[in-house]
Amino acid sequence: MSSQNSTSTNPPVAGAYTRAEILSQPGSWQSAIDAVISRQTDLKTLFAQHRDRPVVFVGCGSPYYLDMSAAATYRTLTGKWAIAVPASEILFNLSNVIPGALAPLVVAVSRSGETSELMAACRMLKAERSCPVVAITVSENTTLSQIADVTVYIPHAAERSVAQTRSFAAMLVATLATVALAAGRTDLLGELQAAAGQGDAYLQRIEPPIAQIIGRGFDRMFFLGSGLRNGLAHEGSLKMKEMSLSNSEPFHFMEFRHGPQSMIDEHTLVVGLVSQHARTAEIQVLHEMVSLGGTVVAIQPPSDDPATAPFTKITLPAGFSEVAGLVFYMPVLHLLAYHQAMRKGLNCDSPRNLHAWIKLPDVSPLSGQ
């Protein structure tokens, strides 16, 4: 196996690229909206032509976790069937994930547009089932764009660091905007535009408390998120592993009570991606984790809760629906991982054993799948 790493030089300060990319996210959110709007006619036409097809969101690594939230959003907004699938599962377990002769519309998300499994999966679905493909990427003139029927290319969102931060958030915004178009919810495009406009002030507000809490030192982290936020909880956990080499796991809020909470002690950080509609139950779980000795960060929509709480609250900007507000969770997760890496003296620009994208010499689907 050979691997590719887009980071060719190191910055003068370890982690400098990563921090700059996290803090410049709002501009990439705007680029993502602009990219979708520039292709909205083609996207609307493609989804209309294939309105009766189910939708499969496909990716590898971080984009797969993005796909989990995107598929949940698609189901919520359209009332139609959609799933998220790792590209390797399409190659090697196709009948398990897309049964029979089902021919879905494919939304392929990739930072590089070159990852081997994803290219092979998209080619196979087009060749064997005539699946139309929408590509969402931050890289220009890629193999994926040659395969796709419609490509949403987001400029000004690529990274020099290895772990996906700015690119992930930009592709999340573009994917949510694409789903909004498919659902006929153009009002959400306006909300996403407004989110980009509030991003800089939001980032300035949230970094100091994040740095302060990470300074306490933790041995393990848990990321709790349900519904639209479950994929983002997975991504937060992955970022913590990638950037800071820390033990972390994601869970649904209520599922965390069914066994995993036995791991809570005074060296544990629990990060809750709180929703608006289920916040009462989710906040109760976080209170329970405090009572067990854990330290808690709640990323939550604005509420009328008392100002004092036994945990740190990162409040999302007001006035956004749950769909448009999803992007605001990402800088918190990224900054948590960044500051944990800095506390441990690690260079999160170039994490151990990781590369910006993976290229395998031969990826072939198994026969009989």
CA contacts within 13 A on the Cβ side of 359: 11
C-alpha span between 281 and 335 (Å, rounded): 26
Q: Return the pLDDT at 338.
A: 97
**Other CB atoms within 10 Å distance of the CB of residue 187:** 10
Of 111, 103, 100, nearest to 127 by C-alpha is 103
Model confidence at 306, in pLDDT bands (50, 70, 90)?
Answer: low
**What angle do the packed helices 25-38 and 329-343 form, to 10 degrees?**
140
* pLDDT of 5 above 60: no
pLDDT in tens, 209-240: 999 999 999 999 999 999 999 999 999 999 99
Separation in Å, CA 250 to CA 12, 101, 262: 33, 33, 15
Model confidence at 350, in pLDDT bands (50, 70, 90)?
Answer: confident
Q: Which residue has the higher pLDDT, 290 or 11?
A: 290
Of 199, 202, 196, 200, nearest to 29 by C-alpha is 196
Instruction: Compute the residue count for the chain.
Output: 369
Q: Return the pLDDT at 14.
A: 85
DSSP helix/strand/coil, 105? strand
pLDDT in tens, 139-155: 999 999 999 999 999 99
* pLDDT of 357 above 50: no
Mean pLDDT value across residues 170-197: 97
Q: Return the pLDDT at 73.
A: 98
Domains and their CATH numbers in the chain = 2-192 (3.40.50.10490), 199-343 (3.40.50.10490)
**What is the amino acid identity at position 146?**
Q
| Cβ atoms of residues 348 and 337 within 8 Å | yes
Q: Return the pLDDT at 231.
A: 98
C-alpha span between 222 and 240 (Å, rounded): 10
Q: Longest C-alpha distance within the chain, in Å?
A: 59
| Helical residues (DSSP H) of 24-93, grouped into ranges | 25-38, 40-49, 62-78, 87-92
User: Kindly report the CA angle at 340 between 358 and 26, in degrees rounded to 5?
Assistant: 70
pLDDT in tens, 85-118: 999 999 999 999 999 889 999 999 999 999 999 9
